[in-house]
Amino acid sequence: MATKEEQPQALENKEEPKEDGELPLVVVLRPKSFNLPLEDRLQSHFHLLDPNDSPDESIESFLSRRAHSARALLCVGLTPLTADTLCLLPSLELVVGSSAGVEHIDLHECRRRGITVTGASAAFSEDAADYAVALLIDVLRRISAADRFVRGRLWPVKGEHPLGFKLGGKRVGIVGLGNIGSQIAKRLVAFGCSIAYNSRKKKPSIPFPYHANVWDLAANSDVLIVCCALTEDTHHIINKDVMTALGKEGVIINVGRGPLVDEKELVQFLVRGEIGGAGLDVFENEPDVPKELFKLDNVVLSPHCAVVTLESFAALQDLVMANLKAFFSNKPLVSLVQNE
């Protein structure tokens, strides 16, 4: 992940300031520890209302006192946006998300209030897809394990490293064929994999086979790649039954959210050898990772960084700016979160 020092350097294409005057109000909700890399760009076009600028005042007091007429809100990272917070913003019409998922935003309340929500998965989709494929290749070909084998000076002692498995020809089931899932499919088709998918509904324009439930998808796949949104319905969507259906040679890759997978069950399946391997970028209780996974050579672990590159930060800033500008210009939004 880029450091705080690196992020601004990658994004120095600041836009020319407008004349100071009646700039549109935009509320910014962010963690106190997070510096806003695009602050200068935003301030050229919008008047920002950031509760962190008033550290001696509660967020509730700040919003009630200063944001009554604000029509747009930028939700930075995974900052929770609850119904109680939304209640303090009676004029709100738009929430601009800046993360790949939107589970931290109360979509039900936004829908009830008629508040439009935009997401940022489009900014991250290519990099996340690259990472998912990289994890899969690593698990199948045992690249990280081979690296440890050489660095541990085991090659002269043990001789040949265990063989891995070919990627081409694998049946890959993608759980969630949105922006990220579609990019993963595009890449794996080029490797000669056959693709099937599960999503909230069948997509008429997609040529790949659709499975209405994940169990059927797993039963007809060698690999499951999990990249769907985390909701009440998708919590532990990869459960014991799905892992059993995937089988002893099956591989699970998760670049979505940790709670999409029943982590305790996955650990047991891996320890008992009842599943072939896993590539995990996300976990249920981050940054805590089950210690049982550390000693398994068929598991590749990553610290929730699949979507993060210098380029994705640049794309994210452009996307946030585009959505806010479109909203205040009465133009179509760029990355609308669909209400399904």
Q: How many angstroms separate the CA atoms of 289 and 236, rounded? A: 17
What are 169's two structure tokens?
């020809």
Q: How many CB atoms neighbour CB 290 within 10 A?
A: 19
Positions marked catalytic: 257, 286, 304
Check residue 259 and report its DSSP letter. Answer: G
In the block, which residue shows the tokens 């979509």? 107
Helix, strand or coil, per DSSP, at residue 295: helix
Choose among 4, 5, 7: nearest CA to 310: 7
R_g of the chain computed on alpha carbons: 22
* Cα distance between the two ends of the chain: 32
Residue 213: half-sphere exposure toward Cβ, Cα within 13 Å = 7
> How large is the angle between the packed helices 143-151 and 121-141, nearest 10 degrees?
60
> Is the distance from CB of 258 to CB of 284 less than 8 angstroms?
yes
